[in-house]
Structure 1
Amino acid sequence: MYVELQNINKKFGAYQAADNVSFSIEKGRLIGLLGPSGSGKTTILRIIAGLETPDSGTIIINGQRVNDLPASDRGIGFVFQNYALFRYMTVFDNIAFGLEVQKKDKGYINDRVGELIRLIGLEGLEKRRPHQLSGGQRQRVAFARALAPNPHLLLLDEPFAAIDAKVRKELRSWLRETINKVGITSIFVTHDQEEAVEVADEIIITNQGRIEQIGTPVNIYKNPTTPFAAKFIGESIEVEDYGRLHGFENEKGYTKAVLRPEFVRVTKIDQEIYPYASERGVVEDIFFRGNMLELRLNVGGVRLVAYRSLEDDPFAVGEEVSVLIYRLYLYNDHQVHLVENASLKGEQTFVI
């Protein structure tokens, strides 16, 4: 493995920011550290970078224990959330900064900076200063500056947090394509599930300083292994009295359930496909989400969320509808268990 963390612990006063954290990363992989605010993800990134010192545990990069190495000697490029560009320097000089510190000759610096400016697509903007660039352009410059000294490992702390939504989507694709082209092992921190799923080869979910689950985006989404992962990933809602739902029975040891909107199909009563598996619900509210409608439903006292295509017949608030729930994640304090609607067994249904 190229990067390994072994039993890392870090406390800030009474707050346990890293609680016996262990994981390993293969060379060339793009990893997303995903978790809510305060989950320890940025602390883990800073410990790898050498910007924080763990209370205990071992950090290995490329086969070398780096605990005692200063940040400048770890061969790491770091992209900060707020870019941290030198505002008085041009684009060229910002990118060249690390090479100047390494005392590279002028010819090499010119060639390397020119190569990186082409890589980030900012040809012709070499003499501009940060205030003359858009947020997306500044982030690209910060990325190029981190790559300039040819680091072994690239770390990015919430790289898209300061950028507006449209540009953020464009930069996600650009970042993934660029990192794949360069081939550098990379770890980025985010609290945005969509960002992690779209960009990362593998996701590490953090919670209260601990690692909850590690896996590919598809595997984590389809197979959450802890209650936190099941509730955190996707547009999940908690259902306490799931045994009241048609096709589901209370299982011993599982007191609650997680339901995702894509597990629910809502139709007009006269259009229901599986009447023996469906039940009646009432539309309590409707929200326009751009490319779809979000429905808030009351099904026998249980409140659910479902999606509806804009192409389908519209519903009205207060309308009685047919609700089909395909599956649920049941969970207790330690385990997650996927169950299908028992009324649909043996029938042909679609699979998420």
Structure 2
Amino acid sequence: MLSQSFKPCELPPSAQELRAEVRDFLAEALREYSRADRAYSWMGFDARFTRQLAARGWIGMTWPAQYGGGGRTAFERYVVVEELLACGAPVLAHWTADRQSGPLILKVGTEEQKQRFLPAICRGESYFCIGMSEPDSGSDLAATRTRADRVPGGWRVNGAKLWTTNAHRCHWMIALVRTTPGAEKHQGLSQVIIDLHAQGVTIRPIRDLAGESHFNEVVFDDVFVPDDQLVGTEGNGWQQVMSELAFERSGPERYLSSIALLAELIRAVGRHPGERVRVAVGRMVAQIVVLRQMSLSIAGLLERGQDPLVEAACVKDLGTGLEQLIPELAHALTDLPPSLQTDGDYQRVLAYVTQVAPSFSLRGGTREIIRGIIARGLGLR
């Protein structure tokens, strides 16, 4: 039963001891960051900060030392990620590579790929993005039309990927492509590592409601990809992508994206708020506590080498629902309007989170897709 996967999970002493070290580091490294700056959470980009984390050994923490990793536990990595998110650290530069691209290469990549890509990620020098969504396909990844055709020495890739976070700053993309034309919808798909500076790659930023350009459209026009940049098994792309998405959906970023706003709300209402505010804030905190325990239990599954696809979908669905609720409640509980044209941290954070909150239930799979995964896991479809 699915409920048995969410057993209470305690952090080991080594992870608890690490927390204090991480907090001391962040207090110094982020002392110039305002509370409004920290609202960007894991969408904040700072290459210098990423290199500082790398110097501490906090990128690729669970990977083997032979590939530049720290050989530490999933629980220790969980503590580092939790602290980074709780204080709004700018981690976007290495985020995708550390969270899912590196683990995918470690799991299904060749030895040459591991030696080539993983140490650079651990040093904070190599940034990855993911190429899954496409124009006119919504969240249906199996509708992938970007194709990779066999040519001497590799593949020629043609097509486009959409909503590609951070592509304009990244070095590499792991893209889902169709390598067998005419195959059944979920068959004939593969993953390839594409050099984003290669000839034929065009990256077009997409500006969002907050005025940012985190998202991009990436177009491939006869882009050559060498044979040795096929990831895993040709034709096994669908299964690999599903496994990769479990890494993306299960972490604390799926319920802590709005945590800066909750903290500012508590500051704004003061030490003695009315009962309505106390009840609303108490309920939000209670939900965070539950989601944290669910997410932590998935870290336990990963530590045991399991593949928590359905469990991760549950955390993602419930977590993004809470993240989107927090700005709505903040609006209802205070008389301060959201505004980016003020010195007030609360109003600036409220404005930013309100603008980006609609994307929370899109990134990593729409709510409908996520609930379909859960339904299949429960045997309901």
TM-score in terms of structure 1 length: 0.29
TM-score in terms of structure 2 length: 0.27
Q: Answer 1 or 2: which has greater strand percent.
A: 1
Q: Which has the larger radius of gyration?
A: 1
Q: Answer 1 or 2: which has greater helix percent.
A: 2
